Amino acid sequence: MSLPTLIFALLVVSSAVAAPRAHAARELAGNDAIAVDAAMVSRHEKWMAEHGRTYADEEEKARRLEVFRANAKFIDSFNAAEESSHRLATNRFADLTDEEFRAARTGLRPVAGAGSGAGGFRYENFSLADAAGSMDWRAMGAVTGVKDQGSCGTYNQHDNTGTHATADACKLSCRTLQAPEQLPPQSNFF
């Protein structure tokens, strides 16, 4: 038997042996993809139940699943990198694209006269020489937890509450933090 014929015969035999393995590997990978997809569908369903989310029809649900999948992939990838001081998690906005979130939740509605700077904090007689290297304002009771400001323009109210509470904590040693609902509408303390 000549060398080229021998090589050809070996190729035919090795192909015949390898073909079922390759097919089995593709099938296994396909099953893994199905399992991953099923896990993501389950994760989305659990998230929907947790946040009371419903959709108009199956088409919208499928579209929102794809957005959720992309956001979950980003979150999982970010958390796996372990290069940050914080971690990400899904929240009630996990089925929104960045554009949808920005359009619905970050619209600025300026208040007339707000932010003019008149009467604001003055830096005269202020020195960093005596300042601590770091300070945990939470331990001092000077800040409250994260608040959902919603899309109703209450950002000014929450800002005022936080500013007022922090000023009280720093200047007056007051530990009673006020909720935005306890303040008059559009109040300006400074």
Query: What tens digit of pLDDT does each residue of 72-92 get?
Result: 999 999 999 978 888 999 999
Domain of residue 136: give its range.
119-190
Q: Give a yes or no: residue 96 inside a domain.
A: no
Domains contained in the chain, number: 2
- Range in 55-59, 118-122, 136-140, 164-168 the model is least confident about: 118-122
Q: Give a yes or no: residue 39 inside a domain.
A: yes
Specify the pLDDT at position 84.
83
The pLDDT of residue 23 is above 50 = yes
Task: Write out the DSSP string of the chain.
Answer: --HHHHHHHHHHHHHHHHHHHHHHHHHHHHHHHHHHHHHHHHHHHHHHHHHT---SSHHHHHHHHHHHHHHHHHHHHHHHH--SSS-----TTTTS-HHHHHHHH----PPTTTT--TT----TT--STT--S---TTTTT--------TTTTTHHHHHHHHHHHHHIIIII----PPPGGGSPTT----
Higher pLDDT, 178 or 70: 70
Q: Give a yes or no: residue 104 inside a domain.
A: no
Answer with the one of 21, 52, 81 that is the final residue of a domain: 81
Specify the pLDDT at position 47.
96
Q: Give a yes or no: residue 103 inside a domain.
A: no
The pLDDT of residue 187 is above 50 = no
Q: Give a yes or no: residue 65 inside a domain.
A: yes
Answer with the one of 59, 81, 103 that is the final residue of a domain: 81
Higher pLDDT, 151 or 73: 73
Q: pLDDT by residue (tens digit) across 31-61?
A: 556 666 899 999 999 999 999 999 999 999 9
The pLDDT of residue 109 is above 80 = no
Residues 127, 59 share a domain: no
Residues 69, 138 share a domain: no
For the entire predicted model, the pTM comes to 0.47
Residues 189, 129 share a domain: yes
Residues 174, 128 share a domain: yes
Specify the pLDDT at position 128.
75
Q: Give a yes or no: residue 95 inside a domain.
A: no
Specify the pLDDT at position 17.
47
Answer with the one of 26, 51, 81 that is the final residue of a domain: 81
